[in-house]
């Protein structure tokens, strides 16, 4: 079946089998930040934005994404680079395998919550499997990034 979507700002069309998963579609179009981790929609490694909302691409058929806008980490390099430095500074990227899915959910958090509590941050991290860090580094990185962003906005005024 022929499907079309906007992938990272570009219109793409492709003929896919009815059972093709969105993860396979985006990886087939060069978006290698989207990773396969658990195959059970529990790890968050395959997170993408569909119409600006995070979804697990391993549990969405590519045909269901037809006509929608899909954004992967490759399409969010500006936002990701700024935030990523804070994660690295806290040592929260030990092996790096979980980073793309984690970054996608963190960016969703930043877009939806201006000043999240630690509990709200933990809710956004809950769907992301990280076997290396124990999540405290990510929490510190997010908090440091939000504090820096707030200070930058105050300085601009």
Tell me the per-residue pLDDT of 92-126, one tens digit each, with 9 for 90 and over.
777 777 788 889 999 999 999 988 999 999 888 88
User: Which domains occur in the chain, in start order?
Assistant: 2-74 (3.10.20.30), 77-156 (1.10.150.120)
CB 65 within 8 A of CB 50: yes
Task: Judge whether residue 143 has pLDDT over 80.
Answer: yes
> What rounded mean pLDDT belongs to the chain?
90
Beta bridge pairs of residue 50: 53, 70
Task: Judge whether residue 128 has pLDDT over 90.
Answer: no
pTM for this structure? 0.89
Higher pLDDT, 138 or 131: 138
Q: Mind giving me the DSSP string for 102-156? A: HHHHHHHHHHH-SS--HHHHHHHHTT---SSS-SHHHHHHHHHHHHHHHHHHHHH
Residues contacting residue 58 through CB under 8 Å, at least 6 positions apart: 21, 22, 23, 36, 38, 39, 41, 46
- Kindly report, residue by residue over 14-35, the tens digit of the pLDDT: 999 999 999 999 999 999 999 9
* Tokens 């700024």, residue located: 82
- The pLDDT of residue 95 is 75
């Amino acid at each position: 079946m022929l499907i079309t979507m906007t992938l990272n700002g570009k219109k793409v069309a492709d003929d896919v089998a009815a059972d093709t998963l969105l993860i396979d579609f985006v990886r087939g179009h060069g978006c290698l930040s989207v990773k396969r981790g658990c195959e059970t929609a529990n790890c968050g490694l395959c997170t993408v934005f569909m119409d600006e909302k995070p979804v697990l691409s391993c549990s969405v058929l590519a045909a269901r994404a037809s006509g929608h806008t899909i954004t992967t980490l490759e399409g969010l390099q500006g936002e990701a680079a700024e935030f990523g430095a804070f994660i690295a500074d806290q040592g929260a990227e030990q092996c790096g395998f979980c980073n793309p899915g984690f970054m996608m959910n963190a960016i969703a958090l930043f877009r939806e919550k201006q000043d999240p509590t630690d509990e709200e941050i933990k809710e956004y991290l809950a769907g992301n499997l990280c076997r290396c860090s124990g999540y405290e580094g990510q929490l510190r990185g997010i908090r440091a990034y939000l504090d820096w962003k707030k200070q930058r906005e105050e300085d601009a005024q």
